[in-house]
Structure 1
Amino acid sequence: MICLDNPRDSAERAVSALLKVPTPADGLGRVFAAAGHSLHLVGGSVRDALLGRLDAAGNTGADLDFATDAHPERVLEITRGWADAVWEAGIAFGTVGLIRAGVRFEVTTYRTEAYDRTSRNPTVAYGDTLEGDLVRRDFTVNAMAVSVPGHEFVDLFGGMADLARKVLRTPGSPEASFDDDPLRILRAARFEAQLGLEPVPELIAAMRSRTPRLKIVSVERIRDELRKLMVSPDPSAGLARLVDVGVTDIVLPELPALRMEIDEHHQHKDVYTHTLTVLQQAIALEDPPPDGGPDEVLRWAALLHDVGKPRTRRHIPGGGVSFHHHEVVGRDMTRKRLAALRFPKDVADAITLLVFLHLRFHGYGRGEWTDAAVRRYIHDAGPQLSRLHKLVRSDCTTRNRRKAEMLAATYDALEERIARLSEQEEVASIRPELSGDDIMALLDLRPGRLVGQARAHMLDFRFEAGLVGREAAEAELLRWARENSVPIPGEPPEPPELSVPPGEVPPGDEA
């Protein structure tokens, strides 16, 4: 951790601790020195060492990034035989990846790069000095370096002092930095959320003025930054900054739209404030390490749970507002936004389901739900049930203590009912007692619409009746088949009902 009274001494101790693990770092430095080239450890690993963000072994846990005066082809030549594995995916941008003894290294040639104003891709030009390389980095806290071997600490732009003061600055002009790579605007918000570093006023002004440049950045890079921000210690701080400077108008417009909506309970200035509170409360309910930690799905669900409110807002007599079915509209909006951001399907599906289900508990009343309704709640939530519990509890932000305690007690009662049912039957993986194959065999059906209808009925029956045994389940299937005129093997078909016109005598009943 940085010592404010003697930051230089603190830096030397932290850097020394960093370079003890992993030991291959110095070995790689000696390889480069023997070949007549310099090598410096740079970036996040140096920053994290200064912050004391090390594990028990003294390692930052991140890949080790290095800067060198050697060009990529020379790096490959120098490390041939030293590295256990080499990958060249980033070689067009001057980066060579290496693995030795299980440690990952990325070695990048000194460079300068800038975005063409109409292109998403950087143009790379190699530099010839460490200073020229460091000045083009995103922020001063990432523009520090340590030579290997030798361990000389290089801090040309005051990054260590900025860490001590908890401020975020760029090595050069912030406007030029964001013109080089507009994604750095999002990175600034992430470092605020992740490290508690507050952007200086000129950096905030540049974020605001350069925000339109984000339109040239690929969706995938924007998505990745948002996902990193959301699993940081204080995502609300970073999100609030992105809303303030207008970034979310481009990358997540559903969030600033919430500022216009008044919460129906009149307990918050607006739904936006309520949403950030729900997010913070959801984080507080996450399972702690080592088994738990940041829950990205829960956090995104908390952030997006009310995005349907702006479109469902209706004024009601007395000056209030309502948001009927906002969970349905919110589900569809969430699905569309996450698809636009190209989220992995499994992650997007989990978040979308939670948004859709977050309001269902409020139909529980004072426990009037039948066991069938509780089973359906469990079934519909599926593997997201534990997250749904946390989301529903987080969504209570009322200042009315009595109401909050009542809601908490009611949800406690629901969880107790779920636990009791779970002891009696496998409600977590509830399914009909007759499979699709069973249905086809009993009714002599081929795969198709009728099988689906029969299975849906048997699932509803499972919710209503619980476990009844195979004999009773088969009897219910046959009852359904008769009611829906589905032929049953070995059973004569029901005779058709004859329709008799008014005034006529049915056949056989003549006088």
Structure 2
Amino acid sequence: MSPVDSTGVNPDESLTPLALLAKADQAISSLEDVLADLVAEFAARDLPLYLVGGSVRDAILGRLGNDLDFTTPARPEMIKEILESWAGTVWDTGIDFGTVSAQHRGQQIEITTFRSDTYDGQSRNPEVVFGDTLEGDLVRRDFRINAMAVELLIDDRGSLTGRFHDPVGGLEDLEHKRLDTPDTPEISFHDDPLRMLRAARFVSHLGFGVADRVKEAMNDMSEQINRITVERIQLELNKLMEGAAPWTGMNLLVNTGIAAHVFPEIPAMRDMKDEHHQHKDVYAHSMQVLRQAIEQEEDGPDLVLRWAALLHDCGKPQTRAFNDDGRVTFHHHEVVGAKLIRRRLRELKYSKQMVADISQLVYLHMRFYGFGEGQWTDSAVRRYVTDAGPLLPRLHKLVRADSTTRNQRKAARLQRTYDHLEDRIAEIAEREDLARVRPDLDGNEIMVILDMPPGPAVGRAWTFLKELRLERGPLEREEAIAELRTWWEAEQSQDKS
């Protein structure tokens, strides 16, 4: 790859780190079988094609995926024509914005006409304006590390090669693991405030720091994030939480005041001392729980577990109180926290399932602490498993992650106690179906036995039998019928009195 940038800098004078470019060379070479024909199609029409943005960044970092972004001076209709002759699948849902996409041999391709958009300063929606220069397209991008391009070429031997373009110094930022904007951050964030959330997302995923001027602008302009729709905010928050170190991105949002606008329950934990004085504050404890929850993941990022770990103590600010000896307490913070989470996640338009799962994990995370080692009765185990339902594996991980004490003896005791609980669950599961604890009689049987029509009384009877099943385990049919009749006689006597 030739280290020539679009500003005309002499290659010999370039500050480009050759080791980083070598990684990009390797990535582009690996794409030759997929892309050579596409590049040739553009070249036959005297049209350049550039790998651009995050794809170049990831190629240089050695982490290029199967979703590639390109730019070209060709207009959308021409891009579509070329792609339709090259790929098996083409879709043009973004053609009004200059984007046409395709799928070819397992590679997803997105090609966009050069853009030189203008913004109205009220929303993040630009007035789409097609551009004529690569540099004009690159300088309008969010961060310098995303403002690099590789012009794809076919050399004299017919091999795929590339020419590097870096008009704003993105490679230097990559070398120093730094996030900075092509224009001033004030202009960049005014054009699109979502870029402030994207900064936090890149911190989480890439482990980069943020330039001082970017951080200052985020702090000064934090309320501008309110121009962004909740759907876009939710999407960026999820991407942040899926990063390798989501606590770093969340710290940036909290420290710049942006979190106070998008998820105020998170920064509210920052100044809350916990009852054991083991952490600077509840926020720091929650970040440690998040780290420890991630360490237990088995198949990649688990958003439900990560959100529950971060938010499990968000009810503490509203439940703080002091007992007679002056110690701080947070009684029932799990109940309050679950309510806060349901409300916030609904406002952010999370799915009903996500809202239910995250809030239920928060609600249940203190249940374990109500029992000491060896004190888990069969009934308590059944209720724990039933209330957790399919969330039980995540609840195990959350409760274990919630142990952040520096006292090694106490930490070992907590883990040993939870080991005992899991052993008790396995022991009872061998005798009975804990995954589906249901009454020993169903609704139809209840109506026949008690000779009653459908109605609320059937529901009450079913609930009674469910509680009986949780308390005593499976009953023989005749025993269940006898208990049902006894309960119903008591109900009728109470109604008459």
Fold match (TM-score > 0.5): yes
Q: 2:146 aligns with which of 120, 130, 142?
A: 142
Q: Which residue of 2 aligns with 1:233?
A: 244
Judge conservation of contact 1:112–1:132 (CA < 8 Å) in 2: yes
Q: 1:372 aligns with which of 372, 379, 385?
A: 379
1:73 maps onto 2:80 in alignment: no
User: What per-residue deviation string (whole Å, max 9, x for no partner) do you get for residues 449-507 of structure 1?
Assistant: 11111111111111111122322222222222222129xxxxxxx9978xxxxxxxxxx
* 1:20-419 mapped onto 2 (5 Å cutoff): 20-21=30-31, 23-53=33-63, 60-150=64-154, 151-287=162-298, 292-419=299-426
Q: 2:115 is aligned with what amino acid?
A: R
Judge conservation of contact 1:282–1:394 (CA < 8 Å) in 2: yes
For the pair shown, the structure with the greater C-alpha radius of gyration is 1
Distance between the aligned counterparts of 2:286 and 2:425, measured in 1?
Answer: 27
Q: 2:440 aligns with which of 433, 440, 463?
A: 433
Judge conservation of contact 1:19–1:25 (CA < 8 Å) in 2: no
Judge conservation of contact 1:25–1:148 (CA < 8 Å) in 2: no
**Distance change (3 Å), C-alpha of 1:78 and 1:426:** same
> SS at the partner of 1:447?
coil
* More divergent stretch after superposition (299-308 vs 170-179): 170-179
Q: Which residue of 1 aligns with 2:450?
A: 443
Judge conservation of contact 2:23–2:62 (CA < 8 Å) in 1: no
Distance between the aligned counterparts of 1:22 and 1:430, measured in 2?
Answer: 57
User: What per-residue deviation string (whole Å, max 9, x for no partner) do you get for residues 36-57 of structure 1?
Assistant: 322111122221121122xxxx
Q: Which residue of 1 aligns with 2:487?
A: 480
Distance between the aligned counterparts of 1:273 and 1:10, measured in 2?
Answer: 36
Judge conservation of contact 1:376–1:463 (CA < 8 Å) in 2: yes
Distance between the aligned counterparts of 1:228 and 1:405, measured in 2?
Answer: 34
**Runs (4+) off by over 4 Å:** 494-497
User: What per-residue deviation string (whole Å, max 9, x for no partner) do you get for residues 389-424 of structure 1?
Assistant: 111111112222222222111111111101101111
Judge conservation of contact 1:42–1:146 (CA < 8 Å) in 2: yes
By how many angstroms is 1:9 displaced? 4.6
**Distance change (3 Å), C-alpha of 1:420 and 1:155:** same
By how many angstroms is 1:22 displaced? 6.7
Judge conservation of contact 1:301–1:355 (CA < 8 Å) in 2: yes
By how many angstroms is 1:120 displaced? 4.0
Q: TM-score, normalised by structure 1?
A: 0.89
Distance between the aligned counterparts of 1:46 and 1:67, measured in 2?
Answer: 12
Number of residue-to-residue matches in the alignment: 476
Q: Which residue of 1 aligns with 2:159?
A: none
By how many angstroms is 1:35 displaced? 2.2
Distance between the aligned counterparts of 2:373 and 2:272, measured in 1?
Answer: 29
1:7 maps onto 2:17 in alignment: yes
Q: 1:236 is aligned with what amino acid?
A: W
5+ residue gaps, structure 2: 1-14, 155-161
By how many angstroms is 1:183 displaced? 0.7
Distance between the aligned counterparts of 2:256 and 2:236, measured in 1?
Answer: 16
**Distance change (3 Å), C-alpha of 1:278 and 1:22:** farther
1:453 maps onto 2:464 in alignment: no
> SS at the partner of 1:485?
helix
Judge conservation of contact 2:114–2:134 (CA < 8 Å) in 1: yes
Distance between the aligned counterparts of 2:69 and 2:450, measured in 1?
Answer: 66
Q: 2:230 is aligned with what amino acid?
A: V
Fraction of identical pairs, as percent: 51
Distance between the aligned counterparts of 2:382 and 2:445, measured in 1?
Answer: 23
Judge conservation of contact 1:86–1:96 (CA < 8 Å) in 2: yes
User: What per-residue deviation string (whole Å, max 9, x for no partner) do you get for residues 290-332 of structure 1?
Assistant: xx12111111001111111111111222322111111111111
**Distance change (3 Å), C-alpha of 1:471 and 1:209:** same
